[in-house]
Amino acid sequence: MPRPTWSRALCVGLLIGTFPSLPLHAEEIRSESMLANTCAGCHGTLGASAGEVMPTIGGLDKGYLVEVLTDYKTGRRPSTIMGRIMLGYGDQEINAIASFYAAQPWVSTDRVAVADQLAEAPALHERYCESCHQDGGRSQDKESPRMAGQWAGYLQYAMQACRDGERCHPRKMRNRVADLSDAEIAALAHFYESQK
């Protein structure tokens, strides 16, 4: 095993000591679009997803995106593949990706409501969701993503995963969805999908 030379160790130590925010590799800064366009193969061009479990991300709140992407990276938000991917990006890069997608126009799905699925949905929305997800799920901030026009497949998965204790963002969401049945979650998901 090669021994580290003093000069190199000293040099690295000095660098880290002097500029704690520098990455270990001297890298060029990659632009927002360069970083973000790699996501489009799964999330659609400019983040407008073609469906159904893959969410639309273009036009979501920047603070929300930063938090979710960071939580994927740290593992705080469990995932199938996003955790593995986000480990490839530094904090500045996550910020750049979030900025890019937050600046895109929101594109709602073209799905329309199916009446019998939705009969009870408005009452459920009012009772459980509206205090945070206002204006039929169109409002958004760092804690509450836009749901109007989002894919029902994704919304259904997100609510079920939260109810079943897998992941909630934010944690208080858990209390809201805890008592919902699968049918009620499906009704809500299709209700939000049909809002544009």
* Interface residues toward other proteins, by CB under 8 A: 25, 27-31, 33-35, 37-45, 49-54, 80-81, 84-89, 153, 157
For the beta carbon of residue 120, count every other beta carbon within 10 angstroms.
13
In this complex, which beta carbon is closest to other proteins, that of residue 27 or of residue 120?
27
Output the smallest distance, CB 184 to other proteins, in A: 20
Looking at the Cβ atoms of 11 and 42, the one nearer to other proteins is: 42
Closest CB to other proteins among residues 37, 70: 37
Query: How far from 39 is each of 24, 58, 166, CA to CA, in Å?
Result: 25, 11, 24
Compute the distance between CA of residue 132 and CA of residue 108 in angstroms, rounded to an integer: 20
Cβ 122 to other proteins shortest distance, Å: 28
Q: Closest distance between other proteins and the C-beta of residue 195, in Å?
A: 21
- What are the structure tokens assigned to 89, written together? 């990006």
185-186-191 Cα angle (round to 5): 95
CB of 160 to other proteins, least distance (A): 10
Nearer to other proteins, 44 or 59 (CB): 44
Task: Examine residue 32 and say whether the peptide bond preceding it is cis (omega within 30 degrees of 0).
Answer: no
